[in-house]
Each structure stands twice: as C-alpha cells, then as structure tokens.
C-alpha cells in the first residue's frame, strides 16, 4: 500500500502521462496552417505511435540486378558536393556526414524506387531536431526526414520518415541510435502544365524498416521550414540530395531503379528506351 505521499505522486504521475499528448511539445503554434488543419511543425499534433520493427539487417540488403548503385560503401563518385566533390568521410563501408555540406547525385531522376540505409550517431547527442538530423530530398526539394526518432520527441511533421513540415509517418518505426535502418521509397515526380500549374503533385510511398509509413501520399509542395510549401515548376528530372544538418549520420547501400509510372514498360535495366 503506498503511503499518502507516494499515492499523491502516483496520481500526479498518471495525470502527467494522460496529458502528455495535450501539452505543447517541441514545435510551434505560431506558424501558418496547413490544409490538414495543423500548423506547420505543430507542437500539438499527435506524434505517431512507436512500433518496434525488429532487429536490424545483419548486412546491407543486396541491390536488384537492374538497379543503379549510387553508393556501395567504397566511393561517392556518383555524388557531387562542395567544390564539385562529395566530401563526406568514407569508412568501413559507410559514408558519414562531416559538415562539408549537402551532397547530391550527379545523375538526375524522375519517378523512381530508392533504397537507402542509414544510422544515427550512438550514443545519441542532442534532442528534438538536434539529434541525428539529415534528410533525403528528391529533386533536391522534396524531403523524407532522417532523424533519430527513437525516444526523442519532436514535432510530428519533423520526425524520422516525415514529409518534413507537411505529413508525419503513419507510425514511428525508428530503431535505436547506431543501428542500421532502411528506407524503401517509391517516388512519383510532380507533373506540371506548360503554364506552370500543378497537374499532379509529387507522390510518395515509404517503407521504413519494413513498415509502411506513407502510402501514395501527396506532397503539398517543396519542403519548407516554418512556412507553407508552394510548388514551382521544374524539370522532369532532378538530383537526389542528402542533407548535412551537422550531425554525423551514416549512410550505406544506396541504390535506385528508374521508373516511368505513367508507362512502366518503357524502363528496362535502368535505361529508358
């Protein structure tokens, strides 16, 4: 039987837990309103439920034979960066962000299937957006967030696998810091009319550590911080950019399959006929 004092502490503890989702967490309440009725980076937006995805793969997942291998652990020749060279540190079969700036593919892609493996620093350092932050930007514009979201509360549209500033993942499938994680992504490029109007928004399906976290989800526009996304017409293909947010996030085993989701039969062996 708890003493009156510890019973009071228990009650207090319970009410704190019950109220946790109703209290402003990291995030904002003074940012513009998205069409979904939530502020951009809304501190009150419910955070996705955590789901344990099981153990990390023991080794990189082999690329299919028709994939274009962008990074196999040996060199970043397929990427460019500061002074026309991707300068992230390569060590032990992975590349680590090292504050030399973002890197992006030399080749450009439209519709595609992308596989990426990543790991956030261990032991974890920092909190919220300051812990293991990086990102994958299609067309250099449309981000799938990379973040250490393992027991690290942040605003829902900023956590790992979020379409940053727009749409949280369906669940939080993050593994602990230091463990390898996978993204398997199908990206459909936006379609624009000649006058620049958006005929079809960019759409994305994301599987994080084997768990579906976005299904054919539309982007509201290019990724923006604390502001509303707004489409601006661009070319049919663009680079894939990896973000240097200052945290030493690691990447390995990056491969891509080009697609034409209007006419998938036209793409073979990574070469459009």
Judged by the rule CB under 5 A, the positions of this chain that interact with Mg ion are 133, 135, 145, 243
Beta carbon nearer to Mg ion, 221 or 257: 221
Closest residue to Mg ion, Cβ-based? 135
Beta carbon nearer to Mg ion, 145 or 154: 145
Beta carbon nearer to Mg ion, 87 or 145: 145
Q: Which two tokens stand for residue 262?
A: 């209007």
DSSP state of 127: -
Q: Which two tokens stand for residue 230?
A: 């707004």
**Residue 95: exposed, middle, or buried by beta-carbon count in 10 A (0-12, 13-18, 19+)?**
buried
Start-to-end CA distance of the chain, whole Å, equals 76
Q: Least CB distance from residue 147 to Mg ion, whole Å?
A: 7
Beta carbon nearer to Mg ion, 7 or 225: 225
Q: Least CB distance from residue 190 to Mg ion, whole Å?
A: 20
Contacts of residue 13, defined as CB under 8 A and 6 or more positions apart, other chains included, come to: none
Q: Least CB distance from residue 133 to Mg ion, whole Å?
A: 5
Q: Least CB distance from residue 135 to Mg ion, whole Å?
A: 3
Q: Which helix (H) or strand (E) holds 241?
A: strand 240-242
Q: Least CB distance from residue 243 to Mg ion, whole Å?
A: 5
Query: E-strand spans in 94-239?
Result: 94-96, 103-105, 112-119, 134-138, 142-146, 181-188, 191-192, 198-200, 203-208, 211-218
Beta carbon nearer to Mg ion, 113 or 145: 145
Beta carbon nearer to Mg ion, 42 or 258: 42
Nearest to 249 by CA among 151, 125, 163: 125
Q: Least CB distance from residue 146 to Mg ion, whole Å?
A: 6
Nearest to 69 by CA among 258, 250, 209, 217: 258
């Amino acid at each position: 039987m708890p003493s009156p004092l510890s019973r009071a502490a228990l009650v207090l503890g319970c009410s704190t837990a019950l109220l946790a989702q109703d209290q402003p967490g990291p995030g904002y309440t003074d940012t513009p309103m998205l069409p979904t009725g939530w502020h951009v980076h809304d501190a009150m937006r419910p955070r996705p439920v955590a789901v344990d995805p099981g153990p990390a793969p023991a080794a990189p997942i082999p690329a299919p034979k028709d994939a274009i291998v962008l990074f196999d652990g040996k060199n970043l020749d397929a990427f460019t960066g500061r002074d026309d060279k991707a300068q992230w540190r390569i060590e032990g079969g992975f590349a680590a962000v090292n504050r030399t700036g973002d890197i992006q593919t030399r080749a450009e892609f439209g519709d595609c299937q992308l596989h990426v493996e990543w790991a956030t620093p261990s032991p974890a350092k920092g909190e919220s957006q300051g812990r293991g932050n990086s990102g994958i930007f299609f067309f250099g514009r449309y981000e799938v967030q990379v973040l250490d979201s393992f027991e690290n509360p942040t605003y829902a549209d900023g956590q790992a696998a979020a379409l940053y500033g727009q749409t949280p993942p369906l669940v939080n499938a993050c593994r602990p810091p230091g463990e390898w994680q996978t993204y398997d992504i199908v990206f459909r490029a936006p379609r624009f009319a000649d006058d620049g109007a958006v005929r079809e928004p960019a759409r994305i399906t994301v599987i994080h550590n084997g768990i579906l976290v976005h299904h054919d989800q539309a982007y509201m526009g290019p990724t923006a911080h604390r502001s509303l996304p707004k489409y601006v017409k661009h070319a049919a293909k663009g680079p894939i950019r990896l973000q240097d947010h200052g945290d030493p996030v690691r990447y390995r085993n990056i491969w891509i399959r080009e697609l034409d989701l209007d006419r998938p039969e036209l793409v073979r062996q990574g070469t459009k006929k």
